[in-house]
Structure 1
Amino acid sequence: MARALPLILALAIGVAIGGAAAADGAISLSGVTVRVLEASGSVADKHSVTGPDARLRLSLDHTRTLEVKLTAALAGGDADFRPQQAFLRLTARGSGDAAYFAATKAKGGGLVVTAKHDELQKQVGTQPGTYDAALLVGDTRSAQPVEWALGEVKVLYPPQDDGSQPEAKPYRPLDATFRPKPEIVHQHRQPERRAPAVVSLFFSLVALAPLAAYVVAALRIGANLKGFPTGASFLPAAAFHAGLAAICALYLLFWLQLNLMQTLPILAILGVVTAVFGRITLQGAAAAAAAKPPQKQE
């Protein structure tokens, strides 16, 4: 057993090295032929592709079939190499949706891919227009897959009554659900026509008329400040009247500049402060009135 261990290790290393070398083998394509077949089986168009950047211009409608034949070889691999993955990809230029068609073994050797109109519609829906065709070949024994661009395929659907192509729509409702929605441009309603400036000024003066009447009456009668609290009650009374003045100023700012959400927090603070000092002022006035001696009646 001890003598066989080095032999087993040597075989394992050899297999690993051989597998790594096989994985580095490059895939090559040859005999790539692209044909467009009519419903009767006759060839409508045929091209031979010799490189990965072909620029074919093909046409596919509901009566035709697109066929691609190819032979794949692996450097350092078997002569009868068949890749694990070989597809023909058709990508719609408008939406980016792609349809894939798997290759099968051809009768005369090699691989063949057929793309029919109804199979394309099942994968990407009704999307007339130009598609980019590409040949994809890959295998685990090769570290580098192969992608050959074949050119463009113009897909046509049965025309409508006016001769135009049908509108593009996805095959599955979920595709329409998860597609990016068009950008919404919001438009505000046009503002209503405002009243003339003369009318606005007139009603503003009407609203200020009671205040003006109060000021005129106070000036004519004369302001009496003898009853204003003095001593320790002076500061609460002054703060109470200052709070009332601040609330009036806040109403003016709300009318000119502020909105409701800006006004309410300030009004809540001023209201609490004014109420507290008003209560203190009233308590002081009540205490002062109770301390006065009663007046003698004649």
Structure 2
Amino acid sequence: MTENVSTWFKDGSYPSDLGVKLEAASDAQSRLSLPYEERNTMFGLIHGGAIASLVSIATHAIAREAPRAVAEPLRTVSMHVGYVRAARKAVTVEARAVRRVRELGFFETLITDADGNAVAHASSTVSETGPDSAIADAPPLLDLPEADDALGGGAGAIRAAMAASPFLSRRRLRLVGVRRGVVEMAIDAAATNLDGNGAMHEGAVLTLIDAAGATCPWTVVPPSPGASGATIALSAQVLGALPGDGLVARAVVRARDARICWTDILVAGGASRKVHALGTVVYRFSDKNGP
């Protein structure tokens, strides 16, 4: 492991706050570990946003190793994470470079728990150079009514669930707007959400995508006693360098059947309204839910 990588990792406020440990890194592979701690959980499980974050951290560690030793800029232009099972124990992350050509690196990542069970598998493409981009201005924010009759009090239930999650509370996520099939969430530029350069960490963006995308299905199928579900897949694309201020995500349900819901997410600057990332979350309800 080179000094370039170890210094970058220690400077990253977001990875440090998660408690991630970088155990090994080379230009071909990296290995990380994440302890099972309450601060990274929701309902007693390691949050899916924390799991997705590990993919970005592990692949960027490889990209920063010699002989290429890329410092800036780095961005995950494409990522797909499949969640195999919930994580109730500490996890280990092993990433490897499939190919590195020109400014692109192609990676595979496997996340396992302390018993060796697969938790998640990911493929991702990281760009080492390229201009910043913003495809458009984001649409206006929603107006959140004080009495959310359309959701039968669903907005309050969403806020309560977020407040009960140590991981989301630590990330300072908050509900901005909601209606049937649409959710807007914001994440603040708290120190624990930033990288060593003061910009929003990719992991925080992935957390925002996961949280908004996993919440939105419940506006179509309001929670009932004993009802539960989980994210089974997350895709994300980071369009350019991330800002140092807060972000807002708009999640929209695009399709659903009796068990599975597909939600698209757009992430924009809270102040600039410029688009910085796109995502899709596939969410599965544990039991069949009616319309």
Q: TM-score range by the shorter chain?
A: under 0.3
Q: Which structure's CA Rg is the greater one?
A: 1
Which has the higher relative contact order, 1 or 2, with Cα contacts under 8 A spaced 6 or more apart? 2
- Could you tell me the TM-score, scaled by structure 2's length? 0.22
- Could you tell me the TM-score, scaled by structure 1's length? 0.21
More helix by share: 1
